[in-house]
Structure formats: C-alpha cells, structure tokens
Amino acid sequence: MSETAVAVEHHVDHAHDHHGSEGFLSKYVFSTDHKMIAMQYLFTGMGMAVIGGFMAYVFRMQLAFPGISVPGFGQVSPGEYNSLVTNHGSIMIFWVAMPVLIAAFGNFCIPLMIGADDMVFPRINRLSYQIFLLSAVILLLSLFVQGGGFGGAWTAYPPLSAVGNYNQTSLGASMWLVAVALEFVAFLLGGINFITTLMNSRAPGMKAYDIPMVCWMIVIASILFMLSVGPLIAGAVMLLFDQTIGTGFYDPARGGDPILWQHLFWFFGHPEVYVVLLPAIGITIDVIATFARKKVFGYKMMLYTTVATGVLSFFVWAHHQFLAGIDPRMANVFTITTLLISIPIAELCFVIIATLYGGSIRLTTPMLWALAFMAEFLIGGVTGIFLGASGADIYFHDTYFVLAHFHYTFYPIAIIGTFCAFTYWFPKMFGKMMNDTLGKIHFWGTIIPFNIIFIPLFVLGMGGQHRRIYNYEHFPELAGEGMYQLRELATYALLVMLAFQLVFFYNCISSWIRGKKAGKNPWESNTLEWTTESPPPHGNWPEGLPNVYRGPYEYAHPDREQDYWPQNEPT
C-alpha cells in the first residue's frame, strides 16, 4: 500500500475518533470539525462586513453632506475620515472576502465535495481560525487607542505609514500592521490544510478531473497566496521596525526607498485579487452548471486557464506604479502583461457563457447572484483595461475612476460571490430552505443600488475628482453643483442598499428557525455534499465514505431519465 493511501486510511480512523460526543465548548468554540470552523469564519466575516459597511455609510455621508453630524456616529473629523476609509478597505479585503470566500466555504465545501470526513489537519484548522479571530480583535481594538485607527490608506504606503508624525496614528498603525500579519499567518495555515486535504483525502474513485471546480479554485488560490505573501511579510516587518524602533528601510534620507514597499505590497496585492477572485468564479461555475442543468463547457480548458491566470498574476504588479517614477520602458512591459492577463479571464467568462447556452435555466436566487457576478465583474474587467494602459493611467490614477473600477471587481467577488455561495449552500449548512421571494427582493434591492452608487463615480473620476479628500468644498473646481449631485445620488443609493441587507438577515434568521426542511439534495445537484444529510453529521457520512464513478457535472445525460447524475451513483 502506498504512503498516501496509508495516510488517508489513518486520517479516516483518526477523524472518526475525534468526532465522538462533544460538549458545548468543544462543539461550538474549540471545535476541530471543518463545518463548525467554516461557520466560525462565516459569522466572523459577516460581522466584520457589517462594521465595514457602517464605515462606508459614515464617510459617504461626509462626502455628500460635508460637516453633517452623521446619525449613529456624529461629526466626522479629517483624521476620523482617513481612519474610516483605511479600515473599510482593509476589513472588506482581508477580514471579509478572504475569510468568507476562502476559509468559510473552503472549510465547508472541500471535505464534503471530495468525499472526506474532515480536513487532514483538524487542529491546525482550529488554530488557523483562532489566529484569524485574534487578528480581527487587534484590528478593532486599534480603532479605540490613542490617536485612533490607522489612517494611512489600506495600501499603507510609506513615508505616510512609517512616520507617526505624518499619519497621526502611530499606535493604531502598528496594531493595524500586526493584525494584517496575523491574518496572513492564519491563511497560510489554512492553505496548507486545503492543499493537503484535496491531494490526499479524495473519495475512492475520484480522479483529478472529477474534482468540482470550486475545490480546484480554492486550492489554486491558496497556492497563489502562499507564493506571493512572503515578500510582503518581510516588508511588513521592516515597516514595523521603521514605526517602532526608528530604522530607515523606507526613509530615503537614510538610504531607504519608499518605492520598495510598493513593489513588495503589489507583488502580493495583485495575485491577491486572484486569490479571492478564483473561489468566486468556482462558486459561480458550480451554481451555473446546477441551474443551467448542463455540463460545464471545457472543464480541462477552464482548469488550465486558471493555472495560466495564476502564473501571469505575478507579472503585472507594477501597473499600480505607473506614476511612482518607474522606468517608462518597464511601464510598457507591464502594460503588455496587464492586457495579456485579461485574455484568460475573458476565456473563463466565455466558457461560463457557453455553459449557459442551450441550458434549461432555473432562475433561482443563487442563479441570479451567479449571473449578476458575471455581469458586474465584466464591467470591472473592461474598465481595468483603461487603467492598464500607462498613458491613460496618467490621467485616471488615484481618481474616483480607479475607485469605481476597483469596486466593480471586488464587490462582485466579496459580496455577490458570497451571497451566491450562501444562498446555494444554505440548505446544506442549516437543513432549511431560504425563502425564495425574500431572496429575490434582497437580490434586486442590492444589485440596482450598487450600480447607482458606482456608475456616477466613473463620471466623477473622469471629471478629475481625486480620492481621499475629506471635504471637496476646499477645491472649488470639484465643488460644482453637478458633482455634488452625483455624490448625493451615490450616497442615497448606498443607504438604500444597506437597508435591503435587513431583508437578507431577516430571511436568514426566519428560514433557519421556521423554514421548510431541506432534503439531502434540494437543488438536484451531482456533487458529493448533496449525498449526505442536511446539515451533515460529524464525520459527514457515518455509514461510510462515498465512492465516485464520474465527474461532477453530468447533467441532462442522454442515458438518464433524470436530468442529473450524482457522482456516487453506480453506472
């Protein structure tokens, strides 16, 4: 017997041992069950999203109505404005998108979708969440220390981030940096678990091309994260030393180089976009295949394209630095690589469209979110082409055009992708069906205001409106009536969108308490998580792990009366 087979057999025996009877603390607080850890990540990420959304509400009110006493917050000072903008961006990227899309759904889906009873390293899995929770606590505490939360922007460019006299939040800046570093450690531990589990704990009969696409996407994202984060951790240590013990790694007066941080940050930062994008695309693929009742078009091509995207993502980082003084000849190189990386992403989009073509489409709530992800993300991708051209970026750099582009890429990933996954796997997670009518009301109440918020920001950006300005009344050329009307329109739309999130929370709670009971497979899907009980018990399949006989997307097969063919059903 091979070493891998022995390891898997040992894991199965061990996992059944530690899934015995549990008390409250061992089950809900210190659990090693991948499903409970997924819930911990999910609810922590949702809580942080509420905080990040509140921050957005406060600073948008200040932008639309300068000097107003914001209900629920009060008067916004310039320092508080900087802190709110900085921490909103940090929270939504590092403490919402990553923990929900990668950690929560990776923990929940990977073992269930590959036919395993748990992660290979359950205690490391628990430690990963505990470190992540510590990082979130430190970040939130940093908002209340002397000077307030860090206000040097989520990209933390020195010298603004390195010198307390510049950012006016010296203690908050150091705590922010420690929180980010701890969050990275948590996801390194989680990534080790995802990769090892997928490679070593698949169900008997499950070959590489039988793995659902969302599992591949999460694992490839974990590999990208592990390969890109090292230089940034080293850079963060140097920045922390500059802040606390007076070193000069980023101080040109002492031989340092502030542009070095930009290279280290964006060498991680651009692969990071794909770290969170790939799981969202994987979720979208699985949901669209299920509700189009059609086999995924070009499974292998999609997988190879994803790998190519990951490789190319390491060669585009300097398009963030076209105005930072880099050699214009190198700017030409990074313009080309930036345009090149749009090709595999466009290919993935066309493959998804081809999967939809000719399908028997069911417009359920998860399907609406999947289709919205495609539509909104394409707007973000198309507007990114302008910013990837070094000549155009001279004008657009650091304007609201960049901000709108960024939100048309990250909002579909972090928010729409999360809603898509949550509404799809809610029956499996909680054993109840969500109210479809309330789900669709929430969908339209989110998507329509989202576009009303950010389309005007493209117009403001093209009109020259710069980012990170506390009060545009100080700049007469940006204080015209037309511009203020657009800012007010975007702010009113944000208020409407935030209000509709109450429908989502009501739907979640009411469905959880008194919703219709979900069976094993309410969506008539093929993948293995739909072959066990809803919600799955400890060990996932107490009667024995499933065998796999085919790929995950055999819908509308001509040899079947039913239009789906579960992976574990013998031929």
Q: What is the DSSP string of 20-86?
A: S---HIIIIIS---HHHHHHHHHHHHHHHHHHHHHHHHHHHHHHHSTT-EETTTEEPPHHHHHHHHH
- pLDDT value at residue 533: 96
pLDDT digits over 483-515, tens only?
Answer: 889 999 999 999 999 999 999 999 999 999 999
What distance in Å separates the CA atoms of residue 472 and residue 477, rounded to the nearest whole number?
A: 9
Q: In this structure, are strands 74-75 and 69-70 parallel, antiparallel, or unpaired?
A: antiparallel
Omega within 30 of 0 (cis) for the link into 535 = yes
Longest dimension (CA), the chain: 76
N-terminal to C-terminal alpha carbon distance within the chain: 27
How far is 562 from 564, CA to CA, in rounded Å? 6
Residue type, 244: T
pLDDT in tens, the chain (571 residues): 443 443 444 444 444 444 445 677 877 888 999 999 999 999 999 999 999 999 999 999 999 999 999 999 999 999 999 999 999 999 999 999 999 999 999 999 999 999 999 999 999 999 999 999 999 999 999 999 999 999 999 999 999 999 988 988 999 999 999 999 999 999 999 999 999 999 999 999 999 999 999 999 999 999 999 999 999 999 999 999 999 998 999 999 889 999 999 999 999 999 999 999 999 999 999 999 999 999 999 999 999 999 999 999 999 999 999 998 888 889 999 999 999 999 999 999 999 999 999 999 999 999 999 999 999 999 999 999 999 998 999 999 999 999 999 999 999 999 999 999 999 999 999 999 999 999 999 999 999 999 999 999 999 999 989 998 999 988 888 877 788 899 999 999 999 999 999 999 999 999 999 999 999 999 999 999 999 999 999 999 999 999 999 999 999 998 888 999 999 999 8
Backbone angles phi, psi at 227, to 5 degrees: -80, -25
Residue with tokens 């109840």: 432
- Residue linked to tokens 């990951």: 310
* Phi, psi dihedrals of residue 432, rounded to the nearest 5°: -130, 155
Closest C-alpha to 39, from 108, 94, 95: 108
Concatenated DSSP letters of 181-201: HHHHHHHHHHHHHHHHHHHH-
How far, in Å, are 24, 145, 265, 269, 570 from residue 228 at the CA level?
Answer: 39, 31, 10, 8, 42
For 128, 199, 360, the CA distances from 3, given in Å and listed in that order, are: 26, 13, 45
DSSP string, 280-330: HHHHHHHHHHHHHTSPPTTHHHHHHHHHHHHHHGGG-GGGGGTTTT--HHH
Residue 536 has φ and ψ, to the nearest 5°, of -65, 145
CA–CA separation, 372 vs 145, rounded Å?
40
pLDDT (tens digit, 9 = 90+) per residue, 19-68? 445 677 877 888 999 999 999 999 999 999 999 999 999 999 999 999 99
Crossing angle of helices 3-18 and 170-200, in 10° steps, is 120
- pTM equals 0.94
Give the distance, in angstroms, between the CA of residue 515 and the centroid of all CA atoms in the same chain. Answer: 28
CA angle 194, 197, 202 (to 5 degrees): 130
Task: Name residue 432's beta-bridge partners.
Answer: 517
Distance CA 417, CA 356 (A): 18
**Residue 475 has what pLDDT?**
87
- 533 in the Ramachandran plot: left (φ > 0), alpha (ψ -120 to 50) or beta? beta
Q: d(Cα 229, Cα 321) in Å, to the nearest integer?
A: 19
